[in-house]
Amino acid sequence: MLIILDRDGVINEYDGNYICSVDDWHPIPGSIEAMARLCKAGHRIAIATNQSGIARGFYGTDVLDRMHDKLQRLLTAQGGSISFIAYCPHHPDDGCDCRKPLTGLLEQIRNHLHLTTLKGAIMVGDSRKDLEAGFAASCQPVLVRTGNGKDTEHHLKTRPIPGANVAIYDNLGVFSDAFLLGSGLEKPS
């Protein structure tokens, strides 16, 4: 199965501030191991991440590439790999079609992996826009309580995503364990 992950607040620590250097990029404890477990079980992992810090001039694509090299290195050491990383470098005001909650990044992943649909794939995020993008692209949306996740969970209670059945886990490690055990992941209604 294809599992698409948001990056900030899902894989790496995120406190609301832009991560502008490789040294400031720190994996959430257990997230790399969780990704490795999914890979070793035969699942594919892709990443869809909004990186408007590029358009804002906070860091360049060279720095972003080095952050992703760091991630890939850590994951390779655990026996996993990432199939594709799609990122939106644009500003929210740019009117691009890839910034989540739009589905452009997910379509890039679908095309790169030569899939006709993302139906059956999973989108894991900590923000509402991740869940909305995933749901709009036919993925099962999964929320984790790391990063923005607790706030997102709170807001979903008063303003659910119409039609979406969002599964919620404490972090990527707990999600991965539940997913690999084949329990706890609710099907979309």
Give, as ranges, the residues between 147 and 186 that touch Mg ion (CB under 5 A): 147
SS3 category, 88:
strand
63 binds Zn ion (CB under 5 A): no
How far is 131 from 48, CA to CA, in rounded Å?
A: 12
# chain residues binding Mg ion, by CB under 5 A = 6
The partner in contact with residue 126, picked from Mg ion, Zn ion, none with C-beta cut-offs of 5 to 8 angstroms by kind, is Mg ion
Please give the structure tokens belonging to residue 83: 């199939």
48 binds Zn ion (CB under 5 A): no
Pairing mode, strands 44-50 and 2-5: parallel
132 binds Mg ion (CB under 5 A): no
SS3 category, 64:
helix
How far is 71 from 76, CA to CA, in rounded Å?
A: 9
3-state helix, strand, coil in the chain (%, to 5): 40, 15, 45
100 binds Zn ion (CB under 5 A): no
CB of residue 141 vs Mg ion: minimum separation in angstroms?
Answer: 13
The partner in contact with residue 139, picked from Mg ion, Zn ion, none with C-beta cut-offs of 5 to 8 angstroms by kind, is none
How far is 76 from 90, CA to CA, in rounded Å?
A: 29
Which residue among 7, 43, 90, 128 contacts Zn ion (CB under 5 A)? 90
Nearer to Zn ion, 99 or 110 (CB): 99
8 binds Mg ion (CB under 5 A): yes
With CA atoms as reference, report the closest residue to 189 among 163, 170, 167: 163
Which residue among 2, 3, 4, 6 contacts Mg ion (CB under 5 A)? 6
Contacts with Mg ion, residue ranges (CB under 5 A): 6, 8-9, 126-127, 147
Contacts with Zn ion, residue ranges (CB under 5 A): 88, 90, 96, 98-99
